[in-house]
Structure 1
Amino acid sequence: MKKIAVLTSGGDAPGMNTAIRAVVRRGIHKGLDVFGVVNGYKGLIEGDFTPMSLGSVGDIIHRGGTILKTSRCEEFKDTIVQQQAIQILRENEIEGLIVIGGDGSFRGARKLTELGFPTVGIPGSIDNDIAGTDYSIGFDTAVNTAVQAIDKIRDTAFSHERTYVIEVMGRGAGDIALWAGVCGGAESIIIPEADYDLEDVIDRIKQGHQRGKRHSIIVVAEGVGKGLQMGKEIQEKTGFETKVTILGHIQRGGSPSAYDRMMSSQMGALAVDLLMEGKKGVMVGVKSGQLTFTTFVEVEKGRHTIDLSIYELARSLSI
């Protein structure tokens, strides 16, 4: 193998640039020519390649987003388009592809492998919902961003004796809400993976008020419902002033945390090594603290499951 390419696909996540840097520098260290694909699968089918050098990935380790840009490409689901992409790769003498993204991105990578082109994936998603790994790039930074916001909102909640409902991202996964809620000392955490009763949340707010507590923080995952509606109902049933904050896409941006940088660097380097060893159709990941890899087929069979013992811990600590 002499030439490989790397692309980022789907939603951006802090640490993607760090992973790109690791892929490029590990590849060059191993004697490979490395190319970046601009704008994900869209750029792949358009042949939008750029040669990557040591200098091209200098000073990006601390930057959020992705220097290669990213997009969602519905037409790449077509087998004919996938075959065209492989033809373009081969015309450019590229022999392997590293895809940084989420489960949707890996479905495209799996198709390329099944059609005869070697691919390796790196999990990049703040939602941390990808099967086959305990951790995906961007999650730690997103949680830290949410915790910092909760800390700031709590100051105002205390000062004005208010209840705040804080809606965080995560699609259908509750990892960000759970971790941020525990680390931010939320009185209640609402996630898709656990049954919840809004009446129970309201009762906990009232019980806290009876013992002198005049402010509360409720963290809700976006996959459960609308924070605005919950806030309205809580205010109506408690009589306490309730505000709603939707953190939104600030959780996707920003400089990656030290942990995200470390994991992105290790995963990027391992992805290059696996390609050179002849591995294909696999995603690198972390299991029980150890770097490993899992086939795309296994990744598609399920999704990362949340640790509900942390949810029970949160309930016991927020009495």
Structure 2
Amino acid sequence: MKRIGVLTSGGDSPGMNAAIRAVVRKAIYHNLEVYGVYNGYAGLISGNIEKLEIGSVGDIIHRGGTMLYTARCEEFKTLEGQKKGIEQLNKFGIEALVVIGGDGSFQGAKKLTEHGFPCIGVPGTIDNDIPGTDFTIGFDTALNTIIEAIDKIRDTATSHERTYVIEVMGRDAGDLALWSGLADGAETILIPEENYDMKDIVARLERGHARGKKHSIIVVAEGVGSGIDIGRVIQEETSLETRVTVLGHIQRGGTPTAFDRVLASRLGAKAVELLLDGYAGKMVGIEKNELVFHDIDEALAKEHTLDQDLYQLSKELSI
């Protein structure tokens, strides 16, 4: 193998640049040429591909987002789009591809591998919803962004003696809500993996108010539903002054934490090692602080599971 490519796809996540840097420099260390595919699978189809040198990835490890940009691409979900992508890869003499992204990105890598083009997936998403790895690139940074926001909201909640409902990202996974809620001492955490009873939430708030509690924080994962709707019901049922904050895309950006930079560096380098060892159709991950790899098929077939011990702990500590 003489030449590989790297692309980022789907939603951006802090640490993607660190992963790109690791792929490029690890490959060059092993005397491989590296080509960057810009704008994800859309750029792959259009041939938006350039050779990357050591200096191309200088001074990016601390930057959020992705220097290769990213885009959604419906065309690549079709057989025709996939064949166009492979034609472009062959045109540039690229023999294998590292794909950094979430499950949608992994679906594309899986299709390319099925067509005979070797790919390795690197999990990059703030949602932490990829089976086969304890953490995904960007989760820790997004988590700390949420925690910082909730800390500030708590100051206002205390000053005005209000109940605050805070909606966080995560798609269909509750990891961001659970970890941030536990870290910030939220009274209630609503996640899509667990059913909730609004009567129980109201009763908990009323019990707290009766014993003199001046404010409450409720963290809602977007996969549960609208934080605005939940806040409206709480105010109607309790008569407690309630405000809602939807954190939105602020959670996606920002300087990656040290954890995400190191994780991205380790996973990006491991992806290159797998390609050099002749592997294809795999994803890299980290489990119990050890680098691992699994079949992409296996990762896509499994359901994301939440840490139930953490969830139980959050309930026990919020009495």
Q: TM-score range by the shorter chain?
A: over 0.9
Aligned ranges 1:154-193 → 2 under 5 Å? 154-193=154-193
Cα offset, 1:312, TM superposition? 0.9
Between Structure 1 and Structure 2, how many residues are aligned?
319
1:14 paired with 2:14, answer: yes
Which residue of structure 1 lines up, in the alignment, with residue 235 of structure 2?
235
Deviation at 1:131, TM superposition (A): 1.4
Runs of 4+ in 1 over 2 A off after TM superposition: none
Per the alignment, residue 46 of structure 1 pairs with 46
Q: How far apart are 1:300 and its partner, in Å? A: 1.3
Identity %: 61
In structure 2, give the amino acid aligned to 1:239: S
Distance across 2 between alignment mates of 1:191 and 1:85: 38
Q: What residue is the counterpart of 2:281 in the other structure?
A: 281
Q: Is the 8 A contact 1:134 1:304 kept in 2?
A: no
Aligned residue for 1:121? Answer: 121
Counterpart-to-counterpart distance in 2, 1:281 and 1:137: 19
Cα distance in 1 for partners of 2:21, 2:84 equals 28
Matched, 1:30 2:35: no
- Matched-pair contact (CA < 8 Å) for 1:13–1:138: yes
One-letter amino acid of the structure 2 residue matched with residue 303 of structure 1: E
Structure 2 Cα separation of the partners of residues 185 and 100 of structure 1: 33
Letter aligned with residue 236 of structure 2? E
Shift of 1:82: 1.1
What is the alpha-carbon distance in structure 2 between the residues aligned to residue 295 and residue 46 of structure 1?
Answer: 28
Letter in 2 for 1:102: G
> What does the per-residue CA deviation read over 1:78-110, in whole Å, with 9 as the maximum and x for residues that have no partner?
112212211221121111100000111111111
Secondary structure in structure 1 of the residue aligned to 2:304: coil
> Equivalences for 1:1-319 in 2 at 5 Å?
1-319=1-319
Q: Distance in 1 between matches of 2:180 and 2:134?
A: 17
Please tell me the residue identity of whatever aligns with 1:32.
L
Task: Provide Cα deviations, 1:174-195, integer angstroms capped at 9, x if missing partner.
Answer: 0000000000110000001111
Distance in 1 (CA, whole Å) between partners of 2:222 and 2:98 is: 30
Q: Displacement, 1:113?
A: 0.6
- Structure 2, unmatched stretches of 5+, are none
Q: How far does residue 304 in structure 1 lie from its aligned partner after superposition?
A: 2.3
Distance 1:212 1:84 in 2: 65
Q: 2:198 and 2:214 mapped to 1: Cα distance?
A: 19
CA distance in 2, matches of 1:164, 1:80: 49
Q: Is the 8 A contact 1:102 1:124 kept in 2?
A: yes
Q: What is the CA–CA distance in structure 2 between the aligned matches of 1:162 and 1:24, rounded to whole Å? A: 50
Give the conservation status (yes or no) of the 8 Å contact 1:177–1:221: yes
TM-score (normalised: structure 2): 0.99
* TM, length-normalised to structure 1: 0.99
Greater CA drift, 84-93 or 250-259: 84-93
The one-letter code sitting in structure 1 at the alignment partner of 2:177 is: A
Distance 1:193 1:52 in 2: 42
RMSD (Å), alpha carbons: 0.8
Give, as a single letter, the amino acid of the residue that structure 2 aligns with 1:306: L
CA distance in 2, matches of 1:87, 1:149: 46
1:276 deviation in Å? 0.8
Q: Summarize deviations over 1:103-141 as a string: whole Å, max 9, x none.
A: 111111111111111100100010011112111110001
Measured in 2, the distance between the counterparts of 1:104 and 1:11 equals 10
SS in 2 for 1:264: helix
In structure 2, distance between residues paired with 1:55 and 1:88:
24
Query: Partners of 1:302 and 1:281 in 2: how far apart?
Result: 16
Q: Distance in 2 between matches of 1:9 and 1:43?
A: 10
